[in-house]
């Protein structure tokens, strides 16, 4: 499959690798500490999806891409976000199991709220996966 995206593919592959590595560690070892590293990346992927979609719209407006490719690109971005959402839910379940809790969404909210480790990882992932605005 050919995309009209040059730099975005490398970021997508790198994010999938990071998610895959985090997910493997979480699922393979039921490690709550590893599970807590997934949520910051999921939040970065959510933001990146919007930036990548916006960049593609600008490319289409300039005639550098077609609407047909845009549909495929949109599907790729949506699926990437969906994968990150599932990884986040699995990580939340690992955390809940370790804490004998049954409220995954509450646990994930608590990870995001005022957690220094979360903030550090979020900043690290955001820096690592930054996509510049289309110019």
pLDDT in tens, 30-58: 788 888 889 999 999 999 999 999 888 88
Tally Cβ neighbours within 10 Å of residue 19.
20
pLDDT above 70: residue 4: no
pLDDT, greater one: 134 or 95: 95
DSSP 134: P
Structure-token match 């407006």, residue found: 61
Q: What is the reported pLDDT for 125?
A: 92
Tens of pLDDT, residue by residue over 85-133, are: 998 888 888 888 888 888 888 888 888 887 899 999 999 999 998 887 7
Q: Which domains does the chain have, with CATH numbers?
A: 8-128 (1.20.58)
Q: Please count the CA atoms within 13 angstroms of the CA of 93 that sit on its side-chain side.
A: 9
Question: Could you tell me which residues come within 8 angstroms of residue 99 by beta carbon, excluding any fewer than 6 positions away?
Answer: 32, 107
């Amino acid at each position: 499959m050919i995309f009209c995206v040059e730099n975005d593919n490398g970021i997508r592959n790198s994010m999938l690798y990071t998610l895959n590595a985090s997910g493997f560690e979480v699922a393979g070892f039921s490690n709550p500490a590893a599970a807590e590293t997934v949520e910051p990346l999921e939040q970065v992927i959510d933001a990146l999806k919007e930036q990548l979609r916006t960049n593609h719209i600008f490319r289409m407006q300039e005639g550098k891409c077609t609407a047909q490719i845009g549909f495929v690109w949109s599907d790729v971005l949506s699926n990437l976000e969906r994968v990150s959402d599932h990884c986040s839910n699995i990580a939340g379940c690992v955390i809940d199991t370790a804490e004998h809790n049954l409220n995954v969404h509450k646990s994930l909210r608590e990870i995001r709220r005022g957690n220094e480790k979360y903030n550090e990882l979020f900043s690290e992932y955001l820096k690592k996966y930054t996509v510049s605005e289309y110019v």
